[in-house]
Amino acid sequence: MKLKQRDRQILAIALPSIVSNITVPLLGLVDVAIMGHVGDAVYIGAIAVGAMIFNLVYWIFGFLRMGTSGMTSQALGRRDLPEVTLLLARSLAVAMGVALLLLLLREPLLWLMLLLIKPTPDVAPLAARYFHVCVWGAPAMLGLYGLMGWFIGMQNTRAPMLISIMQNVVNIAASLLLVVVGGLKIEGVALGTVIAQWAGFLVGLWLLALRYGRLRRHFRPGGVLVRGAMARFFTVNRDIFLRTLCLVAVNLYFTSAGARQGAVILAVNTLLLQLYLLFSYVMDGFAYAGEAVCGRYYGARNRVAFGDTLRRLFFWGGLMTVAFTAVYAIGGTPFLRLLTTDESVILASAEYFPWAVAIPAAGVLAFIWDGVFVGITATRAMLLSLVVAAAAFFATYLALAGLMGNHALWLAMIVYLFMRGMAETVAYRFVIKG
């Protein structure tokens, strides 16, 4: 199949992003694997709790990536190079400010996270030791969010891919050296993670200087903290922040509602969610393409190229939906056997498996529109659409839980994904497009 120019643009952004996304969970998996071979179950549990804390905290501050990406792609489309450089400076400044707050408030933050997660008494102290080391990676991680968003806005997803791969290599090497050779246990894997995070940030700065050093002549330090520009920066990121809180609320409730139905149902839901995560890793690549390419043409006010990009994004989204639905329908159970050998959980999954097969069709619109809306910085519409979808999730589950049990939870998730996409479709056609 001969690719059109717009398809090549989309895939040039999407494919490296997919590779980057797939490597993200490896940072946590490496720590668990190392502890699984040199420690006992308590250490594995502590790593899982510690990783959950940082995943939740960093997820909440993901606006640093998304807001930077959309505004940068638009500035690039306008060929406003001074604003391009200022956006990077603003993003990094905010990232360092947030990181400083996290470091100053690390003890209250740890207390709150342990209160929410409720680990067992033998796990909590070890999780705290992991946290006290890993928290010093916060400036690097949040700085990387700003850098990654800026790279994507500049139509460059190869740099984030290289950073992600390098981080995993450094994490494996440093953790093995500290734990196996150095004799450290939980502090060793935590320190290995921190080293990998800072290595990634420093490599990101190096790639920035190497590829974009020529932009320094456009930088005006006095423009970083201009009130109007900072107000827009915070308005865009505030909407994304609130939207992320809604996402977190839905995901946490889904997990807790499954947990209340017993260990087997919790295990079933956790396994089936892996199918959702796998689809999301791929679709996020196309969402990033929407951020970068749609944002650039939106900033350039090129309606023809913008519309063409939108159509091709939905074409690729449809193609991925058909492919994933077919793969899940045919090979889903063998995939589950790769994740667990517990036959009771695999057998129990069969009853709920059709819901997981429905995930790609229900969620494809939401993934594509999310990328487009970030690219055109229609963040208020994104927020309101997610509020509508979250309300539909809770209403569906609470109305049907007594009748359908865990089926009601999965139906609510499908309704939630579908409503996200439909609400954004309506918002685009009747509010944004006019």
* pLDDT score recorded for residue 412: 96
Q: Provide the whole-model pTM.
A: 0.86
Q: Show the DSSP H helices in 39-80 as ranges.
A: 41-60, 63-77
Predicted local distance difference test score (pLDDT) of residue 32:
64
Residue 39 DSSP one-character state: S
C-alpha 126/C-alpha 249 separation (Å) is 27
pLDDT at res. 95: 93
Please say if the pLDDT value at position 291 is more than 60: yes
pLDDT at 2 over 60: no
d(CA 101, CA 187): 23
Has residue 1 got a pLDDT over 60? no
Average pLDDT, the chain: 86
- Return the HEC string of 237-257: HHHHHHHHHHHHHHHHHHHHH
* CA pseudo-torsion sign 144, 51, 16, 167: positive
The pLDDT assigned to 390 comes to 95
- Reported as a single tens digit per residue, the pLDDT across 159-175 is 999 998 898 889 889 98
What confidence score (pLDDT) does residue 341 get? 62
159 touches 207 (CB < 8 A): yes
Q: Residue 186's pLDDT band (boundaries 50, 70, 90)?
A: confident
Q: Is the model more confident about 134 or about 268?
A: 134
pLDDT category of residue 342 using cuts at 50, 70 and 90 = low
- For residues 94-104, average pLDDT: 94
User: CA 77, CA 87: separation in Å to the nearest integer?
Assistant: 14
Whole-number Cα distances in Å, 36 to 30, 40, 119, 192, 342: 10, 7, 18, 16, 18
268-285 mean pLDDT: 85
Q: How far apart are CA 378 and CA 298, in angstroms?
A: 11
Q: What confidence tens digit (pLDDT) does each residue in 313-322 have?
A: 999 999 999 9
Q: What is the pLDDT of residue 37?
A: 62
Residue-level pLDDT at 277: 84
Residue 97 has pLDDT above 90, yes or no: yes
Please tell me the distance from the alpha carbon of residue 163 to that of residue 10, in angstroms, as a whole number.
21
**pLDDT tens readout for residues 24-73:** 666 666 666 676 666 566 777 777 778 778 888 888 888 888 888 988 99
* 211 Cβ contact partners less than 8 Å away, ≥ 6 residues apart: 156, 159
Cα–Cα distance for residue pair 314/323, rounded to 1 Å: 14
Report whether pLDDT(221) > 70: yes
